[in-house]
Each structure stands twice: as C-alpha cells, then as structure tokens.
Amino acid sequence: MKQKQKDFLGKLAMAVTGMLIFSAGINFFIVPADLYNGGMLGISQLIRTLLVKYLHVFSGTTDIAGIINMLLNIPLCFIAWYYVSKSFFARTLICVISQTIFLSFLPIPSTPLVGDTLTASMIGGIIAGSGIGIALRAGGSSGGLDIIGMYFTKHFKNFSVGRISLCVNAVIYAICAVLFGVQTAIYCIIYSAVSTLMTDKAHTQNINTEVLIFTKNNPIKIMDYIVNAFNRDATWWEARGGYTEGKTFMVMAILSKYECAHLRRELRQIDEHAFIVEKDGIGIGGKYEKHL
C-alpha cells in the first residue's frame, strides 16, 4: 500500500511539474509574442484578447486565460467523470487546477525574451510541448479536447482525439488569421507543430506496441494482470524452445508504450526470468480502444 501511495504521489508531482513547464513556455514566450495555443486554452486566449483589448475589461497584470480555461473545463470534467473514468477525471482535475494557478501567477515579460516571433514560437513550442508530454507520461491530462476526444472515441468508431484537435485548431488559427493577420496565424501553426512534435517525443501513451512474453510458468497470472490492470485482452499458448526443446509459454497482447512500462515492472514480481519482446508503432485494425 505504501508503495502504491508513493507511486501515485510521484506521478502526481511529475504531472504538476509538466504543467509548470508548459505554463512557463506559454507565459514566457507565446503570450509576449501575441501568439495563441491550440485546443481549449487557445479558445480561452481568444476570449481573453476579446475581453481585454476590444471590450477593455479584466485588463490587469494577471493573465485571465488560465481562469477562463478552467471555467470552460468544468462542464468537460463532468463528462470525464460520467463517461470516461473516475481516475481520468481525478488526474485531469489536478492538472487543470495546477495549470490555472501557474498560468495566472507566472510573470509575463513586458517585452519578449527573444528578438523575433519565429524564435519565440519555436522555443515556446519546445518548452510547452515537453511539459504536456511529461504530464501525459505521468498519466495526467490538461483536459479540454482530451476529454471531448476520449468521449467521442468511446462512442463513435470513426472519431479520434487527433482528428478533433486538428479540426478545432484549424478553426482557432483561421480566426487568428482574420483578427490578427495571416502572419500571426502562420507563427501559431509553427508553434503548434513544434509543440506537438515535442509532446509525441516526451510521452508514450499513444504508441501502439505488440508485446510477446516468454515464460516457463504463470502464463495465466500474466494474462490476469493484463486483463485487470489495463482492460486489455491477451492470448497465450504452449510452445517449445528451439535449443532446449523444453516446454514454454507465450503470451501476446497489444498495449500502449505507457502500459508496457507498468507491465515490465509487474513481470519482475510474477516471473523474474520472463523474456519480453516489444515491437513499437504497429498498425491496428478492428476493435482496439486507446486509453488516455
């Protein structure tokens, strides 16, 4: 029990750290360059700009985009609670609250830290994307389109988190092009591309991995762990070793790279001599649910 609590607190600290890094990238580089994030935070930034620059309300030293983002996430958190999972809701809530605090209180430089917008968009993308990736690696989520994507992915076969994000971001950057000029929209797209690349490099949840486990005992226990811990199916069969011709067992499953890390740790407890083979980036057809 103590080890589980320690692991939970470690992941929680890692997720909050990821949100801190993400918020630093936004407040130190993206906001001073008058650029916009994608997703729900991008919508919040657009609302912030309309309120502050055009309606002349909420004009102060604190950026209210984080607060607006949290308000927009409140109804989405209920969707996460009822339609995704309670653990996903808890992780999302923690990340959204910490993100709101960091975005609200991290100081925004009065002048850009770098000389040109292109550099700001790339550095901001590297920092912000790395932060999101770290949070995802810890099992966290910044809410917003992640929740919407998970809901639609569960209920509609042809929907995916990436597709929804792409559509919403296209609308956000089209609005940026109309309100602030095409050049601003182009820099936002560059930032988004760099941020997405860094997120993919930093987290492992959406990398599909084929797993083959060779064990001389306990194939059923390994199967039970995969089914109960990850809500995945698996297949096992009896085989013969080519060198010793001794009896062995093979267990095969499709997991995310993130889930594989947990499986390797558990295998040390079930069968420390088990041999595991992983093949990343495989194509999958049929019924396979991505877990966030």
- In this prediction, residue 146 carries a pLDDT of 74
Phi, psi of 57, deg, nearest 5: -125, 155
pLDDT digits (tens, 9 = 90+) for 43-62: 998 998 888 887 777 665 56
For 245, the token pair is 């011709």
Return the number of other C-beta atoms located less than 10 Å from residue 175's C-beta: 15
Residue 126 to residue 22: CA distance in whole angstroms? 9
State yes or no: pLDDT of 291 exceeds 70. Answer: no
For 80, the token pair is 């996460």
Q: Region 12-28: what's the mean pLDDT?
A: 91
Between 1.20.1600.10, 3.60.15.10, 3.30.200.20, 3.30.70.120, what CATH number should domain 208-280 receive?
3.30.70.120
For 35, the token pair is 């650029």
pLDDT digits (tens, 9 = 90+) for 72-104: 888 888 888 887 777 778 888 888 899 999 988
Tell me the domain boundaries of the chain: 2-202, 208-280
pLDDT digits (tens, 9 = 90+) for 21-34: 999 999 999 989 98
Which helix (H) or strand (E) covers residue 171, if one does? helix 161-180
pLDDT digits (tens, 9 = 90+) for 142-168: 778 777 776 776 666 566 565 677 788
What mean pLDDT, rounded, does the chain reach?
Answer: 83
**Threshold 0.75, pTM exceeds:** no
- For residues 189 and 161, the model is more confident at 189
Given a contact cutoff of 8 angstroms between Cβ atoms, the answer to whether 108 and 48 are in contact is: no
Residue 149 to residue 137: CA distance in whole angstroms? 18
Exposed/middle/buried for residue 81 (C-beta within 10 Å: 0-12, 13-18, 19+): middle
DSSP three-state, residue 238? strand
Identify the residue whose tokens are 């297949």. 235
